[in-house]
């Protein structure tokens, strides 16, 4: 390669995204609790739609995603014309940056926010600006203080990954209202369905011109492997995003399965109920073993250990017991491990293993 062939500014500074591990050498009875997946998988209706989709493999998919958008609008009480669908919410988050941020612009995200946000900022040549949280909770005043006339986007996951904490609707509205006029608040609702009665920020989107919400089928819908997400925003912003979206970004299979999944709210409700119950049980069991966590609003807990060494030793011990959890030092949380709420047997195994670890087993 010649010296003249160079990537765009910022690209080589991007740290490669690390997904959750799924194998342990030499172990067969392994439980993966490192990617916040739904332990019950996809619902029956989604599985059936997947089987049926085989008949349409030779057909190009719809470019306007009308059927899926209508199903989402009916389920969540939204305007279908202001919904956009993408390859995971990752794609929606990325399209927003492609369309609205570039060299010289700033993209704000929070201290323990999703690691994709700074990666996306660098991808488009913008400058990522990290803002401190207060005890693992987003600090609206700190975000507002960090905004400048170059701020184009503020990414906020609510509930946040990997802390599991969230801020209230009034705080989010205060943030939207305090942003400089050229900035968009991107409310990432990847875990919104785990919070009973929470709309992910949809009503705020309806009431403001500077807020976009993103959602996913990867978490409570149990479809992470299929890659489907969506966004909801003001009409002018959605119009812009549709111009940078690939026309055939979603396959027939993705569209059909997502539509079936959104119409199967019984699976969502059952997944949420199990998660709420087992999350509380696991958090309490770990706390009894001397491993506290903040109250989580999502499908994982952030277990806090006394030191980085202890967290790493706990991770190694859990691995020896066939349990894969997530080290979150890259999120600025070296003393913590993020543990997805699995099914009942997985939660019991985690609690038992942590008990053994704290009791001296290593
Ligand atoms: C906060 C947050 N946003 C977005 C995503 C991306 O999800 P998707 O699978 O829809 O791209 C994740 C996945 O872990 C996440 O934790």
Summarize pLDDT for 71-96 with one digit per residue, the tens: 999 999 999 999 999 999 999 999 99
Using CB atoms within 10 Å of the CB of residue 169, give its burial: 0 to 12 exposed, 13 to 18 middle, 19+ buried. middle
Question: Domain check: are 112 and 260 in the same one?
Answer: yes
CA-wise closest residue to 179 among 137, 213, 145: 145
Expressed as residue numbers, the domain containing 291 is: 11-41+266-358
Question: For the whole model, what pTM was predicted?
Answer: 0.96
- Range 23-49 average pLDDT: 93
6 lies in some domain: no
Six-digit token string for 350: 């985690």
276 lies in some domain: yes
Summarize pLDDT for 202-258 with one digit per residue, the tens: 999 999 999 999 999 999 999 999 999 999 999 999 999 999 999 999 999 999 999
- Do the strands 151-157 and 184-188 form a parallel or antiparallel pair, or are they unpaired? parallel
Distance, in Å, from the CA atom of 171 to the CA atom of 208, rounded to the nearest integer, reads 14
In the structure, what pLDDT confidence band is assigned to residue 37 with cuts at 50, 70 and 90? Answer: very high
77 lies in some domain: yes
Question: Domain check: are 129 and 210 in the same one?
Answer: yes
In total, how many domains does the chain have?
A: 2
At 86 the three-state DSSP class reads strand
Look up the CATH number of the domain holding residue 163: 3.40.640.10
Question: Domain check: are 195 and 141 in the same one?
Answer: yes
Is the pLDDT at 21 greater than 90? The verdict is: no
125: left (phi over 0), alpha (psi -120 to 50) or beta: left
The closest-lying atom of ligand 1 relative to the alpha carbon of residue 113 is: 1
**Partner residues linked to 323 by β-bridges:** 31
Look up the CATH number of the domain holding residue 318: 3.90.1150.10
The closest-lying atom of ligand 1 relative to the alpha carbon of residue 36 is: 14
Give the position of tokens 């941020």: 101
Give the position of tokens 């807020």: 211
Where does ligand 1 bind, in terms of residues with CB under 6 Å? 36, 88-90, 114, 157, 161, 188, 190, 216, 218, 224, 229
Using CB atoms within 10 Å of the CB of residue 247, give its burial: 0 to 12 exposed, 13 to 18 middle, 19+ buried. exposed
């Amino acid at each position: 390669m010649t010296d003249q062939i160079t990537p765009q500014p910022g690209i080589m500074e991007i740290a490669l995204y690390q997904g959750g591990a799924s194998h342990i050498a030499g172990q067969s009875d392994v439980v993966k609790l490192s990617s916040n997946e739904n332990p019950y998988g996809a619902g029956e209706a989604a599985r059936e739609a997947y089987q049926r989709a085989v008949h349409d493999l030779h057909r190009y998919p719809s470019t306007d995603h009308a059927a899926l958008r209508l199903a989402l609008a009916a389920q969540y009480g939204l305007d279908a014309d202001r919904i956009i669908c993408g390859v995971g919410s990752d794609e929606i988050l990325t399209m927003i940056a492609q369309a609205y941020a570039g060299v010289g612009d700033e993209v704000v995200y929070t201290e323990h926010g999703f690691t994709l946000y700074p990666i996306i900022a660098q991808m488009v040549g913008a400058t990522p600006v990290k803002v401190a949280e207060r005890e693992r909770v987003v600090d609206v005043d700190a975000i507002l203080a960090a905004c400048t006339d170059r701020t184009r986007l503020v990414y906020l996951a609510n509930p946040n990954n990997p802390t599991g904490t969230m801020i209230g609707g009034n705080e989010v509205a205060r943030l939207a209202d305090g942003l400089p006029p050229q900035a968009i608040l991107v409310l990432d609702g990847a875990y919104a369905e785990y919070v009973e009665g929470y709309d992910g920020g949809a009503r705020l989107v309806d009431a403001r011109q500077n807020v976009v919400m993103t959602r996913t089928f990867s978490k409570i819908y149990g479809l992470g492997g299929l890659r489907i997400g969506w966004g909801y925003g003001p009409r002018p912003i959605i119009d812009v995003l549709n111009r940078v979206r690939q026309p055939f970004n979603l396959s027939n299979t993705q569209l059909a399965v997502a539509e079936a999944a959104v119409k199967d709210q019984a699976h969502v409700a059952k997944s949420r109920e199990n998660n709420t119950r087992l999350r509380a049980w696991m958090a309490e069991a770990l706390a009894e073993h001397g491993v506290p966590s903040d109250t989580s609003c999502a499908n994982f807990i952030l277990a806090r250990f006394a030191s980085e060494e202890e967290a790493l030793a706990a991770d190694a011990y859990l691995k020896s017991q066939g349990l894969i959890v997530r080290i979150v030092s890259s999120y600025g949380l070296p003393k913590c491990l993020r543990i997805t709420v699995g099914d009942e047997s997985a939660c019991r195994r985690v609690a038992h293993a942590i008990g053994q670890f704290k009791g001296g087993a290593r």
